[in-house]
Amino acid sequence: MLSDHFGVFAELLREKSTSVNVGGGGVNVNTGKGKPGGTAVNVGNGGVHVNTGKGKPGGGTHVNVGKGGVGVNTGKGGGTHVNVGKGGVGVSTGKGKPGGGTHVSVGKGGVGVNTGKGKPGGGTHVSVGKGGVGVNTGKGKPGGGTHVSVGGKGGGVSVNTGHKGKPPVHVNVSPFIYNYAATETQIHDDPNVALFFLEKDMHPGATMTLHFNQNTQKSTFLPHQISQTIPFSSDKLPEIFSKFSVKPGSEKAETMKNTIKECEQPSIQGEEKYCATSLESMIDFTTSKLGKIDQAVSTEVEKQTPKQKYTISAGVDRISGEKVVVCHKQNYAYAVFYCHKSETTRAYTVHLDGADGTKAKAVAVCHTDTSAWNPKHLAFQVLKVEPGTVPICHFLPQDHIVWVPK
């Protein structure tokens, strides 16, 4: 069960009932045995919510993070349900019932994956957006008996990007991997440039020009058991491209290649890193480094806006000590998060007011020791400072996560 990964909740399972309140939405724990109840934990406005039931169909574990949050619901007959964000990433795995299986959805229209077993016509269904991309896979090996349809006005997602006769597109390195030097195109064109700033400049009344853009690739986590069967290494690229019908040399291929390369690079001094290819593996890494988890936070913006000026309002709240795990969403055929743990990192939530009235609650991460970073990293070139001299901060895009220990 996914609840096994949440060390923070383990001791609660022995209690008949516990109530704890933290913050606006607080932490609320309610544990019952043998009832449809179980364990419920809420943190913050939408908070972290965990509901664990035993002994009855439909029970299990439910976890929510943020307004729509990360939700995990695991139970016999009910399966597993995971939600991230307002429309979120949803994973629902059912066992023991005809037509059960796995359901994954992302966003309002989202990406949906539904795998059914024990029923004619079962298999896998994938949909993106209102019309989106639909994939139906019947019984048998992955890739066998697959139907793909693209519908919906302006909808659809294709893993085959790029066109014949066009040269491969250059892919910038991630600005959140600190042993890389910035490229010339990245310095001038990467929207993440604006996300870097100095800690001393983070105060009420300060203004910054920002663009909180979401990852354009709406990929979702694969079920853990499936992700474990798919190779994720540079020496297996031909097999990976073939499995996802990606043309070698295309933009998609170069992006996937770059993501794997970044994951294979050694960590910088003082950092522990891991690329998670499933929700379970991300939780396993996080709890192994932090122990009990207090909260998981991410940037929230009222609506998508173009680059504009934001003013820091009265609220700048520190949410951690100097030990956190930060997970950055990568561009890949399915959800991959580059997670790294540091003990010289502080995390904050910063309340911002946009010039057009849009409000945002952004997560800022400040690194107090940058001495091991590449001297030509993007942050140094943009901020005109030297490694190891001053704390460097950056806001997190909306699909990145900070895990904070208890």
Q: For each of the chain's 406 residues, which pLDDT tens digit applies? A: 333 333 333 332 233 233 333 333 333 333 334 444 433 333 333 333 334 444 444 444 344 444 444 444 444 444 444 444 444 444 444 444 444 443 434 333 333 334 444 444 444 333 333 333 333 334 444 444 333 333 333 332 222 323 333 443 434 456 566 655 656 555 555 545 567 888 998 999 999 988 887 655 678 999 999 999 999 999 999 999 999 999 999 999 999 999 999 999 888 888 899 999 999 999 999 999 999 998 999 999 998 888 899 999 977 999 977 889 999 999 999 999 999 998 889 999 999 999 999 999 999 999 888 888 777 877 888 888 888 888 889 888 888 999 999 8
| Per-residue exposure over 277-300, b if at least 16 CB sit within 10 Å of its own CB, e if not | bbbbbbbbbbbebbeebbbbbbbb
State residue 306's pLDDT score.
86
In contact, 360 and 373? CB cutoff 8 Å: no
CA–CA separation, 343 vs 368, rounded Å?
9
State residue 187's pLDDT score.
53
Euclidean distance between the first and final Cα of the chain, in Å? 22
**392 DSSP β-pair partners:** 198, 367
CA–CA separation, 393 vs 6, rounded Å?
29
Residue positions counted in the chain: 406
In the chain, domain spans:
184-405
Assessment of whether the complete model's pTM goes beyond 0.75: no
The residue type of 220 is T
- Strands of 271-276's sheet in order across: 271-276, 337-342, 324-329, 401-405, 293-297
Count other C-beta atoms under 10 Å from residue 189's C-beta.
10
21: exposed, middle or buried (Cβ count in 10 Å: 0-12, 13-18, 19+): exposed
How many Å separate Cα 103 from the centre of its chain?
18
Q: CB-based contacts of 259: which residues, under 8 Å, 6+ apart? A: 330, 331, 332, 336
